[in-house]
Amino acid sequence: MNGVTFQRIENFICTDTALQLRAIVGQAQEIAARTTDANIIPFVPPAIPGLGNSGGFSFVLQDYTGGDLQEFAAAMRGFIVAANARSAVGSAYSTFRADVPMLFLEVNRDKVQTLQVPMTELFSTLQAQLGSTYINDFNKFGRT
């Protein structure tokens, strides 16, 4: 069949426990615990995408008073501690950090138009450089 060979599934099963998924995630958790420059939360993905205990939910905590950022951060940490004390919540966390520098970028739209740069290209580039951007999915072995 065009040079394609088939092997038995037993040839692909990993018997070394150090190389199995849970051991690898455990090693990643140990490394994450020592890392202070980032908020890293390794977890085992669900067998069926969209199902499992790592999907969770999102909660938005907002300060409508315009108060002190450090006070807001303290309130957020208190909320996280209270949420993690509940058995129904597996692991609550926030990516918000009051001590991380923030940027404000004002785009000179007239100059962008003068340079004939499409505004969508400008914002896509900024998104990729300052945060993250979705590239695409790929299919392999019948999975996305």
Burial class of 76 by CB neighbour count within 10 A (0 to 12, 13 to 18, 19+): middle
| Residue 22 located in a structural domain | yes
- What is the per-residue pLDDT for 37? 79
Indicate if the pLDDT at residue 60 is higher than 80.
Answer: yes
- What is the per-residue pLDDT for 53? 64
| Residue 136 located in a structural domain | no
Which of the residue ranges 79-88, 89-98, 128-137 would you say has the lowest mean pLDDT?
128-137
Q: What is the number of other CB atoms lying within 10 angstroms of the CB of residue 32?
A: 14
Determine contact, residues 124/132, Cβ cutoff 8 Å.
no
Determine contact, residues 92/57, Cβ cutoff 8 Å.
no
Determine contact, residues 119/112, Cβ cutoff 8 Å.
yes
> Residue 56: helix, strand or coil by DSSP?
coil
| Residue 65 located in a structural domain | no
| Residue 92 located in a structural domain | no
| Residue 131 located in a structural domain | no
| Residue 44 located in a structural domain | yes
- What is the per-residue pLDDT for 2? 58
Indicate if the pLDDT at residue 131 is higher than 90.
Answer: no
| pLDDT band per the 50, 70, 90 thresholds, residue 110 | very high
38 is in which domain, residue-wise?
A: 1-54
Residues 66 and 22: their CA atoms lie apart, in Å, by 44
More confident residue, 38 or 94: 94
Indicate if the pLDDT at residue 1 is higher than 60.
Answer: no
Helix H, strand E, coil C: the string for 126-140 is HHHHHCCCCCCCCCE
- What is the per-residue pLDDT for 57? 73
Q: What is residue 124's DSSP assignment?
A: H
The tally of domains found in the chain comes to: 1
> Residue 36: helix, strand or coil by DSSP?
coil
More confident residue, 48 or 42: 42
